[in-house]
A and B are shown apart, each in its own frame.
Chain A
Amino acid sequence: MENVLQVLFVGVIVGSLYGLVALGFALIMGVMKFINIAQGSFIILGGFICYWIVTFWHIDPYLSLPLVMLAMFIVGLVLYRLLFSPLLKYPKAEMRLDKSLLITFGVVWILDNTEILLWTPNSRSVITSYGYETVKVFGAALSYTGLIGVGLAILAAAALHLILTRTYFGKHVRAATEDAGAASLSGVNVQRTYLISCGIAIALAGLAGTVIVTSYSVTPGGGLSWLLTAMAVVVLAGPGNMNFMIPAGIVLGVIQSASTLFINPAYQQPIALIIFLLIIMFRPQGLFSRG
């Protein structure tokens, strides 16, 4: 019983992180119809920035969060200006999607190799004084860092939801998502909206990277496996279904975590692939969307 509960808790903790990882990816995909294959590598980059800040200034990793997110926000703006905005000249959405896939695949290559060059191929993690402490709930242990991760993920999802539904900027984003041409005609600065949403998406990658580096570890070249998890989450939730990213992530996390009861934990990646394939075979619109 305790075993099952423990697996469930681990699944929820990992799963909310999966949801957080998927959030930034889904934002770029939903708003701009670009596929950012490099999202995972940006997450790793965020983790390494946090690692650097903590190593040099010896502050708490969660206090470094604003700095990490600001740095990643700027990275996102640069990414949009340099790579995404030139793609807007292609008239067809499919073509933009293909080009963005290829270009961000090149970005993955650059980021992974730069990270290896700067930080060596070893995996790094930030260990805090409370890193190994746990709180017991019905006999199952919950780590503080994991709980903070869950909290941050829910906070980020809620904040994003509020921004998208309650502010003028959110209205612009939704208008540009719906129909960029019509939005532009009615006075929405589509380019600026895209720019800022790209920045927010990469800043979310920084947040996810910080959570990963504190509760797990980051490895250069590990970005693609995070990306694939994000993809599985997005497919589970249904593309464009921003509100269900965290629940979908938790579903995936619990499935993966439960699978460790039966098979070797090293095979979690194939399980994500199998879930991805099953979902697109039988329910391509996602688990949580109607119709």
Chain B
Amino acid sequence: MVTNWKKILTSGIILLIIFLVPIFVDLGTGIMNQLVTLFIYILLAQSWNLIGGYTGQINLGIAAFFGASVMVTHFVWVAGVPIVLSIIAGSLSTTLFAVIIGIPTLRLKGMYFAVGTLALTQALQVIMQNIFTRSISTRGDYVQAYDISSRYFVGLALVVVVLLAIYLIRHSRLGLALVSIRDDEQAAQVTGVNTFKYKVISLLISAFIAGLAGGLYAYFRLYFYFVSDIFGHGWTFSATMAVVVGGAGTLMGPVLGAVFLVILGYIFSLTMGQANMIVFGFLFIIVMLFMPQGLMGGVDLFRLWLYRISKRPIKEVQKATL
């Protein structure tokens, strides 16, 4: 455990230093935009990962939480509240929806949670479309004060905090309870885990993280042409895709998946236009069928192979899953 800590700390610090480069070097708006998008995807993927990867409840309504937070953050911020407080306000508003949808559906097993969250997205999309029929924009002085690097650092800070929080959760009693629910809910219940309580807690934290992503998006994009896009199923799909491709139930898997998604999305959208979404769909299904562990599972296999080549005893192999 101690060596593990040191490894994680050093690699984390190195990564952080790499990501702090924009303080000194101007990377250009294009790359900075991609990086902020990457942060949004990482946050969304971690949100999905906590409830889907660790707790084993399929959430098809990340877009609802994301969109609710975008709207709340946007209007609170435009009303004059500092951005950090408005992001927190937006994230808290998502936990309200999480309570509404989570308490009835998480009591029951099976499809109810997934369908309930999906229905929530659909309902919010319809309601918002009817309320906000025109595009939403910000006042001129906000647009004048726009500065991509502040978005970048807010995003970086959120990602670091969320990754740290997920790591701590995973290594606490709460994390153990969540994983036990995923592996065998009945057994967990018999051993005295209050499964319903822990599922709701997990959903609340997950919704809060999705809310942070929404807040970052509201800070990043100052105007929205179509309100329904914010609540679109594309957000849910991207989050799910990032987690599944990266490896569900691991700390770094969703991050890896999000990086993969942003890079591929950039390449595909340049070369294929509209068809790039279809390619992502096929990629998602292929990964689901043939690589259920995702890229992190691939990393595990690669390590195993390395050790096998170097003829060292197999028991030294550490799982990549943190």
Give A contacts to B, CB under 8 Å: 29, 35, 37, 83, 86, 94, 97-99, 101-103, 105-110, 113-114, 116-117, 224-225, 227-228, 231-232, 264, 266-267, 269-270, 272-273, 276-277, 280-281, 284
- Min Cβ gap B123→A in Å is 4
Q: Which of A83, A106, A232, A273 has the most chain B CB atoms closer than 10 A to its own CB?
A: A106
Q: B69 within 8 Å of A by Cβ?
A: no
Q: Please determine whether A102 and B240 come into contact, CB atoms closer than 8 angstroms.
A: yes
A interface secondary structure, majority: helix
Q: Please determine whether B289 and A83 come into contact, CB atoms closer than 8 angstroms.
A: yes
Give Cα A218–Cα B229 distance, bound, in whole angstroms.
20
Give Cα A72–Cα B80 distance, bound, in whole angstroms.
55
Task: Kindly supply a per-residue 1/0 record for chain B positions 270-288, scoring 1 wherever the CB is within 8 Å of any chain A CB and 0 otherwise.
Answer: 0000110110111011001
Residues of B within 8 A of A (CB-CB), count: 39
What is the chain A residue whose CB lies nearest that of B286? A106
- Min Cβ gap B111→A in Å is 5
Q: Please determine whether B58 and A106 come into contact, CB atoms closer than 8 angstroms.
A: no
Give Cα A109–Cα B123 distance, bound, in whole angstroms.
19
- In the complex, identify which listed stretch (B19-27, B114-122, B301-309) lies at the interface while the others stay far away: B114-122
Q: Name 7 interchain pairs, CB-CB below 8 A, sorted by A.
A: A83-B289, A94-B110, A224-B122, A264-B130, A269-B122, A270-B126, A284-B108
**B111 surroundings in chain A (CB, below 8 A):** 29, 35, 97, 101
Q: Please determine whether A280 and B289 come into contact, CB atoms closer than 8 angstroms.
A: no
**A277 surroundings in chain B (CB, below 8 A):** 101, 104-105, 116
Q: Please determine whether A106 and B104 come into contact, CB atoms closer than 8 angstroms.
A: no
**A106 surroundings in chain B (CB, below 8 A):** 237, 281, 284-285, 288
Q: B214 within 8 Å of A by Cβ?
A: no
Q: Please determine whether A110 and B123 come into contact, CB atoms closer than 8 angstroms.
A: no
Q: Please determine whether A109 and B130 come into contact, CB atoms closer than 8 angstroms.
A: no
- Min Cβ gap A109→B in Å is 4
B interface secondary structure, majority: helix
What is the chain B residue whose CB lies nearest that of A87? B289
Q: B56 within 8 Å of A by Cβ?
A: yes
Q: Which of A86, A99, A103, A113 has the most chain B CB atoms closer than 10 A to its own CB?
A: A113
Q: B244 within 8 Å of A by Cβ?
A: yes
Q: B223 within 8 Å of A by Cβ?
A: no
Q: B259 within 8 Å of A by Cβ?
A: no
Give Cα A266–Cα B289 distance, bound, in whole angstroms.
39
Q: Which of B126, B233, B240, B281 has the most chain A CB atoms closer than 10 A to its own CB?
A: B281
Q: Please determine whether A272 and B109 come into contact, CB atoms closer than 8 angstroms.
A: no
**B101 surroundings in chain A (CB, below 8 A):** 277
Give Cα A281–Cα B103 distance, bound, in whole angstroms.
9
**B274 surroundings in chain A (CB, below 8 A):** 113, 116-117
Give Cα A267–Cα B108 distance, bound, in whole angstroms.
27
- Min Cβ gap B119→A in Å is 4
User: Given known contacts A116-B274, A117-B274, A117-B275, is B105 in contact with A273 (CB within 8 Å)?
Assistant: no
Q: B127 within 8 Å of A by Cβ?
A: yes
Q: Please determine whether A267 and B126 come into contact, CB atoms closer than 8 angstroms.
A: yes
Q: B75 within 8 Å of A by Cβ?
A: no
Q: Please determine whether B119 and A101 come into contact, CB atoms closer than 8 angstroms.
A: no
Interchain residue pairs A-B with the least CB separation, the first 3: A110-B281, A113-B277, A109-B281
Q: Please determine whether A231 and B115 come into contact, CB atoms closer than 8 angstroms.
A: yes
- Min Cβ gap A174→B in Å is 21
- Min Cβ gap A281→B in Å is 5
- Min Cβ gap B28→A in Å is 31
